[in-house]
């Protein structure tokens, strides 16, 4: 019988982290979720708490930690991730991206574990290359308000590759594009929870700027499929994982209205500083090396997310 593998998911009580915990739990792994719960929530993992294969550690990853026993995989997902969170938690965001990634790499090195770093399309900043390919260096304003997140993730990528080079570790980097689905915080300020919250409560949909900026939205199950394929592959990356179907925010508002049925008003608000004008992943690398592509159309994913929010908020 194969020995049971153990996975450490930092940020395991967060939106994406908790879906990763589910994926490994349903496949018989032992899962350790580590989270300081500043943006994550115990409710995301409540259904796993009594399972003997699951352990939760409340800890701030920017401080060192020793975890007893063997660990085969470390997935580093600890970080605030919505623009209002990382603006409000700017120093914590930089600390977890830098010191936290260092600590997570230290754990992986000590345990001889495979390490996977959650990076982001934000490393491309306000991109001048469209769609974004992994070899594009990006257009980030290091001293703008989003710099705390973008630069922390860029540092995390560089540190991960330094550990690979110096310590010969098996590492992977995934660049995650806008992802949505159940367990996003209704008040996390991102466009998907904002629009769903607003439409469920008959409030106007808030469009920042003229609504012509674009995003490409990936359902969380597709993302988890891509991340786990990367983890279990020979690829290091960085690999873009995201849905290449691109929408303007104005078009996205129409899709949300159509899914819900009926019309609500639009309220135009100022565009946040350095808000990227366009974003769409080129996923040729993921297609070629992982055989991955997203399967869930936005119409279906938004319906599933809306149903979840209607029940859980």
The smaller minimum CB distance to ligand UDP, of residues 57 and 271, is found at: 271
Minimum gap (Å) between residue 99 Cβ and ligand UDP:
23
Residues of the shown chain interacting with ligand UDP in the complex, contacts defined by CB under 6 A: 82-83, 178, 190-191, 194, 206-208, 213, 215, 249, 271-272, 275
> Quick one: the chain helix, strand, coil %, rounded to 5?
40, 20, 40
Minimum gap (Å) between residue 189 Cβ and ligand UDP:
6
Where residue 175 falls (left for φ over 0; alpha for ψ -120 to 50; beta otherwise) is beta
Length of the chain: 313
Burial label for 5, CB within 10 Å (0-12, 13-18, 19+), is middle
Which one of 149, 163, 180, 219 is the catalytic residue?
149
Collapsed DSSP state (helix, strand, coil) of residue 33: strand
The smaller minimum CB distance to ligand UDP, of residues 53 and 206, is found at: 206
The smaller minimum CB distance to ligand UDP, of residues 7 and 207, is found at: 207
CA distance 276 to 80: 18
The smaller minimum CB distance to ligand UDP, of residues 72 and 268, is found at: 268
Check: CB of residue 245 under 8 Å from CB of residue 291.
no
The smaller minimum CB distance to ligand UDP, of residues 251 and 299, is found at: 251
Minimum gap (Å) between residue 291 Cβ and ligand UDP:
27
Q: Quickly list DSSP for 67-106.
A: --S--SEEEE--S--SHHHHHHTHHHHHHIIIIIHHHHHH
CA distance 257 to 262: 6
Structure-derived torsion over alpha carbons of residues 124, 128, 130, 136, reported in degrees to the nearest 10? -50
Token pair 């919505």: residue: 82
H or E stretch covering 157: helix 147-167
CA distance 229 to 104: 21
User: Does residue 86 have an active-site annotation?
Assistant: no
Minimum gap (Å) between residue 272 Cβ and ligand UDP:
6
Minimum gap (Å) between residue 178 Cβ and ligand UDP:
5
Q: Which residues are catalytic?
A: 149
């Amino acid at each position: 019988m194969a020995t049971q593998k153990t996975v450490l998911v930092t940020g395991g009580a967060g939106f994406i982290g908790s879906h990763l915990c589910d994926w490994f739990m349903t496949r018989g792994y032992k899962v350790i979720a580590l989270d300081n719960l500043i943006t994550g929530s115990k409710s995301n993992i409540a259904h796993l708490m009594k399972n003997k294969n699951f352990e939760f550690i409340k800890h701030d990853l920017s401080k060192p930690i020793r975890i007893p026993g063997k660990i085969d995989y470390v997935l580093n997902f600890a970080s605030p991730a919505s623009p209002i969170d990382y603006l409000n938690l700017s120093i914590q965001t930089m600390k977890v991206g830098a010191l936290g990634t260092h600590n997570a790499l230290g754990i992986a090195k000590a345990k001889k574990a495979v390490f996977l770093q959650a990076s982001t399309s934000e490393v491309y900043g306000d991109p001048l290359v469209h769609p974004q390919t992994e070899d594009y260096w990006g257009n980030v304003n290091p001293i703008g308000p989003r710099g705390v997140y973008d630069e922390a993730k860029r540092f995390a990528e560089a540190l991960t590759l330094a550990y690979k080079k110096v310590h010969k570790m098996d590492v992977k980097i995934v660049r995650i594009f806008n992802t949505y689905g159940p367990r996003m915080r209704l008040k996390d300020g991102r466009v998907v929870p904002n629009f769903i919250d607003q439409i469920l409560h008959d409030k106007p949909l808030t469009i920042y700027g003229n609504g012509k900026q674009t995003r490409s939205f990936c359902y969380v199950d597709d993302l988890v499929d891509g991340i786990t394929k990367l983890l279990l592959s020979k690829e290091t990356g960085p690999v873009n994982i995201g849905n290449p179907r691109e929408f303007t925010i104005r078009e996205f508002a129409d899709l949300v209205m159509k899914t819900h049925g009926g019309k609500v008003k639009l309220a135009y608000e100022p565009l946040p500083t350095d808000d990227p004008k366009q974003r769409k992943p080129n996923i040729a690398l993921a297609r070629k090396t992982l055989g991955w592509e997203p399967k869930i159309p936005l119409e279906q994913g938004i319906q599933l997310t809306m149903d979840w929010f209607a029940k859980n908020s």
